[in-house]
Amino acid sequence: LTSAVNSPTAALAAALEERLKAAREREYVSKFSGDIAKLDAELSALKTTYSALKEKLNKLKPGSKCPTCSVTLTDELYTCAAADIASELHKVIDSANGLTETRKEMLETEQKAKQTFDRFKKDDTEKLSAELDELRRTGDDSPEIMQREIEEIDMLLSRGLLSDEEFSELESEERNLAELEAQIKKLREYSVDAQITALNEQAASFENNKR
């Protein structure tokens, strides 16, 4: 009994059982949840800026007083002020559209990554189960057959149980993730916070000029 428990077959079966348990319990970890949350916050900030500019534009009327500086708006001043605010509104909209598109790409890549993970997890558990069943079935085979099967299982385990096609697909997904991460980095270099600050400064400058 002791020799059976300590045999290479029993040891390998125990290792396979442990890997099978780990494969079944493996959970997907999002790569973009943090970035998506940041984009949501930036989009919310842009929405607030847009609403403020829109309200300011709606309050502008020829002959009325500027809500900020109390200067009476002539027709010419009103036209100039309305054009400037409309221009800022378009900039905010363009920024929001860019962020929305990036967020959409993130979600699509995230979904593909999750689907790939789920498929690999399913394949892993099925392969491990099959190898474990085969190992138990051939436990009494000759040492040569056992050695060959052990080597085959070791090879599969060392490769994460992925076929050549699955390896290629995984590499493709990793390249897509890298490209999207580069895009996010570029977007961060010209942050929305900086754009919002610039817009506010331009609006303040406009109000000061009217005085």
Structure confidence by residue, pLDDT tens digits, 183-199: 656 655 555 555 556 55
Contacts of residue 34, Cβ cutoff 8 Å, sequence gap at least 6 = none
pLDDT at 204 over 50: yes
The range of the structural domain enclosing residue 130 comes to 29-210
**Rg over CA atoms, the chain:** 31
Residue 58 lies in a domain: yes
Average pLDDT for residues 99-105, to the nearest whole number?
A: 93
Average pLDDT for residues 70-96, to the nearest whole number?
A: 87
Residue 171 lies in a domain: yes
Residue 147 lies in a domain: yes
Q: What is the pTM (predicted TM-score) of this model?
A: 0.56
Residue 18 lies in a domain: no
Contacts of residue 148, Cβ cutoff 8 Å, sequence gap at least 6 = none
Structure confidence by residue, pLDDT tens digits, 30-52: 888 889 999 999 999 999 999 99
Average pLDDT, the chain: 75
Residue 8 lies in a domain: no
Assign 206 a pLDDT band (cuts: 50, 70, 90). very low
Residue 40 lies in a domain: yes
Give the percent of the chain with pLDDT over 90: 19
Nearest Cα to 12, choosing from 159, 142, 138?
Answer: 138
In the chain, how many domains are there?
A: 1
Q: What pLDDT is attached to residue 5? A: 45
Q: What pLDDT is attached to residue 10? A: 74
Structure confidence by residue, pLDDT tens digits, 113-145: 889 888 988 888 888 888 888 877 776 555 555
Residue tagged 């919002």 (tokens): 196
Residue 12 lies in a domain: no
Assign 3 a pLDDT band (cuts: 50, 70, 90). very low
pLDDT top residue among 78 and 12: 78
Give the span between the Cα atoms of 60 and 58, in whole angstroms.
Answer: 6
Residue 59 lies in a domain: yes
Nearest Cα to 198, choosing from 188, 187, 208, 190?
Answer: 190
